[in-house]
Amino acid sequence: MTDVTPSLDVAGLAFAYPDGHQALFGVDFSIARGERVALLGPNGAGKTTLVLHLNGILTGGTGTVRVAGLRVGRQHMAEIRRRVGIVFQDPDDQLFMPTVREDVAFGPAAAGLKGPELEQRVDRALERVGMAEFKDRPPHHLSFGQRRRVAVATVLAMEPEILVLDEPSSNLDPASRRELADILRSLDVTVLMVTHDLPYALELCPRSLILSEGVIAADGPTGELLSDEELMRAHRLELPFGFDPRAVPAAPARP
């Protein structure tokens, strides 16, 4: 029997900061297992606030967040944080050990893994991002694109249910951008990609959510949303000059 429990289910999520600023006003969406979904929206829309609720960094609002059926809350926090892996925009925020191997091993080791099982977990994560040959290198000797791939590996080593990527294409040269896209397409995890890079969203994510003024303003096929000029203008989203989403093949959904 197929498990139809969504990877992520957000219902009625509202949140205000202590200074009174209301960031989310009732967010509702669900992401099925294995989907790749882009989260789009202008600055100040509430994207970061939403992401920080997915693994319990922020709590205390109203509504619910469930990861693979588990409600985000104190009771399941350790498991939620294993299942939701966040890759930050700056890889140097995640890489702090003397070698790549130690960085990727840090999370699983803290969770109690050791010995050959830990080494296998590290090797497998680095192979998935094409960085196995660099495991004994200091992270600061790597290029920015390589460091971003190692940052992805540090999350994959925890065997997450959901991979959340914050602006994954930022500061990447064209070759590194393509290499990362190939890696993301190959992963058998649910992906939520927060990005202002609309062509990258179209390339990788069959579906997109537009978060605007603390609510989901649109949810649908990425190409359709990006081709809706009135919708884009209403939510301060702009495509690069000359880019026509209707001329680009839609990202294929995972079989």
Q: Are 126 and 106 in contact (CB under 8 A)?
A: no
The model's pLDDT over 84-120, given as tens digits with 9 standing for 90+, comes to 999 999 999 999 999 999 999 999 999 999 999 999 9
Q: Is the pLDDT assigned to residue 2 strictly greater than 60?
A: no
- Distance, in Å, from the CA atom of 155 to the CA atom of 108, rounded to the nearest integer, reads 10
The model's pLDDT over 49-75, given as tens digits with 9 standing for 90+, comes to 999 999 999 988 899 999 999 999 888
Q: Is the pLDDT assigned to residue 6 strictly greater than 90?
A: yes
DSSP 54-116: HTTSS--SEEEEEETTEESSGGGHHHHHHHEEEE-SSGGGT--SSSHHHHHHHHHHHTT--HH
Domains of the chain: 8-237 (3.40.50.300)
